[in-house]
């Protein structure tokens, strides 16, 4: 999409980015509520209304910067949905599922956006072409977020998933990395290690989605 102006890119990416980030967080809270923790529900966070979820830096500024710089990579976050494992029936097992819910929501959204691409050809050009580009953006963003969040470094979802799957002692040791998690992630990004890990997985998932989108 490099031929598009910045304004056109923002128009195409805005909706997929918002849905990708917000539904990811709502999924955590919704699954937690099914395990007995109503913290997110009582805080008014089980809603697709973007206003309670928007983080100025993570939801707006950072994705826009990635888009403007044309890095080929988009990352962002919403305000974390509050979850309290003490309210759950089986705290460690339930929290593992809660952690996995966000990335899995992104995978499901990637599939839905792939279907948008497939059916966009049924519309006339002035509507179908932008819709197809938006669907492609939605596929890419959701696949990126799903893969990135499954990296086993807390506070990413993969780290929290692994923390609750490991035996308690090892899980506690891993959880102590959380204050340093984003610094580790930035170092991986700067050194190119992050792209070496993410790129093959992103390409694999997109290749699996291509037949769903009708382009493979």
Residue 69: per-residue pLDDT: 77
- Residues 119, 202: Cα–Cα separation, whole Å: 23
Mean pLDDT of the chain: 91
Is pLDDT of 3 > 80? no
- Residues 21, 58: Cα–Cα separation, whole Å: 9
Is pLDDT of 210 > 70? yes
Residue 6: per-residue pLDDT: 72
**Model confidence pLDDT, tens digit, residues 38-83:** 999 999 999 999 889 988 888 888 888 877 777 666 777 889 899 9
pLDDT tier at 12, thresholds 50, 70, 90: confident
**pTM to 2 decimals?**
0.90
- Residues 96, 164: Cα–Cα separation, whole Å: 5
**H helices of the chain, where?**
6-34, 39-42, 62-68, 91-120, 125-149, 157-165, 168-175, 181-191, 193-213
User: Nearest CA to 151 among 112, 177, 114?
Assistant: 177
Position with higher pLDDT, 37 vs 195: 37
Q: Which of 10-19, 58-67, 96-105, 169-178 has the lowest mean pLDDT?
A: 58-67
- Residues 129, 16: Cα–Cα separation, whole Å: 16
User: Nearest CA to 28 among 78, 86, 75, 74?
Assistant: 78
Is pLDDT of 2 > 60? no
- Residues 23, 46: Cα–Cα separation, whole Å: 9
- Residues 164, 49: Cα–Cα separation, whole Å: 30
């Amino acid at each position: 999409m490099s031929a598009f102006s910045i304004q056109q890119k923002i128009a195409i990416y805005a909706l997929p980015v918002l849905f990708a980030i917000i539904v990811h967080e709502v999924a955590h809270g919704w699954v937690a509520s099914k395990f007995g923790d109503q913290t997110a529900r009582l805080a008014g966070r089980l809603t697709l209304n973007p206003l309670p979820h928007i983080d100025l830096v993570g939801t707006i500024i950072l994705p826009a910067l990635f888009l403007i710089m044309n890095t080929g990579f988009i990352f962002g976050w919403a305000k974390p949905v509050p979850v309290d494992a003490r309210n759950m029936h089986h705290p460690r097992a339930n929290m593992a599922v809660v952690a996995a819910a966000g990335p899995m929501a992104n995978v499901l959204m990637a599939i839905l956006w792939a279907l948008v691409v497939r059916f966009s050809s049924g519309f006339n050009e002035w509507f179908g072409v932008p819709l197809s580009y938006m669907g492609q953006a939605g596929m890419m963003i959701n696949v990126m977020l799903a893969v990135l969040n499954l990296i086993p470094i807390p506070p990413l979802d993969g780290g929290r998933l692994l923390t609750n799957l490991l035996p308690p002692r090892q899980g506690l040791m891993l959880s102590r990395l959380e204050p340093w998690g984003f610094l580790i992630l930035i170092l991986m990004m700067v050194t190119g290690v992050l792209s070496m890990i993410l790129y093959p997985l992103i390409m694999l998932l997109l290749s699996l989605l291509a037949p769903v989108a009708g382009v493979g």
